Structure 1
């Protein structure tokens, strides 16, 4: 089910204009995520950190477009204060310098705001409603990714064509907004990633699982937490 929801997001998350999305993701949130992870630009770079964050978000939404098209969608220009052009080849270095931490912080910040806005009144007998589900993603078939995420084996000599990331998400039951995710190598099962989400569901809540999560340790610990 989660995989189908994510496909729906992919189908509808590439509008002709990102102006509406930009209104829902204020620059103040990006700056807060950078400050919280000590990644704010201390000196004026050709590609400041806040611009790199927007680029990464845009690249995620328009994965099938070249970076120049993404820049047009975001109404951004690769030029410095003097009007000098910046080569697109500078972007990979800027992304590496940024690291994943600000994006993780921004995800948590947006999840907190959006779920509170959309789901605060979505209750059942006073209980907030959640669901837990998982899915898998293919990665590029590189030695580093294969070593970290590994393949899903179908026998002693057969496995998936690409390395696989296993992901588990805690979602609002009705709106399907994601509160938190846990992911990692494919050799760990979904239940192991669900355990990492125990503290993310609020008190006085009801969480729906499918049968693949039916394990005494997970169920008891989840109930004790909430």
Structure 2
């Protein structure tokens, strides 16, 4: 007869009906006191202790963001799986829906406002460029359920192969490029364009920042608003946009104006070479950093590539967390609640990763695996592990240790053809598509012949 091993599993959770209210080790970043504070601020603290206290419902919503592919009752089962020996309720789907409506959106929005911002260990590699915190703004679309209520609020997004897909909302985020933490976010119907939402993010800019923007955001009023906060701008504009030459600099850039704002213009060609050939693209960059001596043109061109970090953030949210799935909520109010929960969950994962890489100042946060952090957080939630701090302060935790133990290689210059494909389906939308990733080299030529 084989010998048996017995493993004792002890957990420390809140007492009574509050026990299921946790997020595993991530509870250290979102402690009970913080959740109670945002509930009180929103006036959503329960009047009497229920089977589903408001604090527990907030953690349920955050756990739902960690497990987007399952129903709410299965999310509840994961919250209570590690609570062996404790009496826990088994709420119905209807009871959980009523509890989510009771809590509403405001506590999740308040929680996001408490947590948003750059990570504390902002001195890590890649977070700053010449003393400036490097940030980026961009937008994306997220599909919501095709319910009558959502159809009335959100427009349908056209599919690549014709017809109409799910209704979509537009999401814009302001990201710290070094750690991919979220500084601010705004979302709403797609009837409003990205440039309509972008001014709402200006509130989170300040002196000591530089914001990287794509061509769609090269709007005079937006650049003026950002400059008014003391932050700087590096934005790509259309090649043929008329910008007067007011003076030339030795690095190939020239002085100009964008409305009332003095700017510097850099015209360049970037050539990407792979085993499949060469491709050259023209770029015209505009920046409010008008002194070329501390901010050379060639460095600005390389800095602009960091704008892609916001695209990686969207990849992590929409592909790694959501797995290409549609959101759950079937009402606009529920959608707003779910999006804030998703942003909060993404932010705390990023903060946990920044805490880990922050103890190794020479380690670029790019090498930290988001998938490892996400899956470890899911495991610890199911185990109800690491909810309370130990007597000794552990800033890294299990999530951080697993991330540091399996760092990704330093980023290399690679490229793959940009193709349109479905989020989940492995089938090609049209014909054969080259999805090979190729090693690449990049060469940059600054152009000095343009006159306007």
TM-score of the aligned structures, taking structure 1 as reference length:
0.80
1:53 equivalent to 2:58? Answer yes
- CA deviations on 1:115-171 (whole Å, 9 max, x unpaired) are 2424366333332221101100111112221111112468xxx76321110111000
Change in CA separation of 1:150 and 1:66 when aligned onto 2, cut-off 3 Å: closer
- In 2, Cα distance between the equivalents of 1:91 and 1:183? 25
Partner residue in 2 for 1:95: 100
1:132 equivalent to 2:137? Answer yes
- In 2, Cα distance between the equivalents of 1:70 and 1:153? 32
Contact 2:73 2:92 in 1 (8 A): no
SS at match of 1:196: helix
- In 2, Cα distance between the equivalents of 1:102 and 1:202? 26
Larger proportion of strand = 2
CA positional deviation for 1:28: 1.5
Q: Higher relative contact order by CA 8 Å / sep ≥ 6: 1 or 2? A: 2
- In 2, Cα distance between the equivalents of 1:223 and 1:159? 42
Larger Rg: 2
Partner residue in 2 for 1:225: 229
CA positional deviation for 1:76: 6.8
SS at match of 2:120: helix
1:39 equivalent to 2:44? Answer yes
Q: Counterparts in 2 of 1:1-226, with a 5 A limit? A: 19-75=24-80, 85-112=90-117, 115-119=118-122, 122-152=127-157, 160-226=164-230
- In 2, Cα distance between the equivalents of 1:65 and 1:36? 30
- In 2, Cα distance between the equivalents of 1:169 and 1:135? 9
- In 2, Cα distance between the equivalents of 1:56 and 1:119? 29
- In 2, Cα distance between the equivalents of 1:120 and 1:101? 33
Supply the RMSD in Å over aligned alpha carbons. 2.6
- In 1, Cα distance between the equivalents of 2:121 and 2:164? 38
Larger proportion of helix = 1
Runs of at least 5 residues in structure 2 that lack an aligned partner in the other structure: 1-22, 231-452
Change in CA separation of 1:76 and 1:56 when aligned onto 2, cut-off 3 Å: farther
Contact 1:130 1:201 in 2 (8 A): no
CA positional deviation for 1:204: 2.2
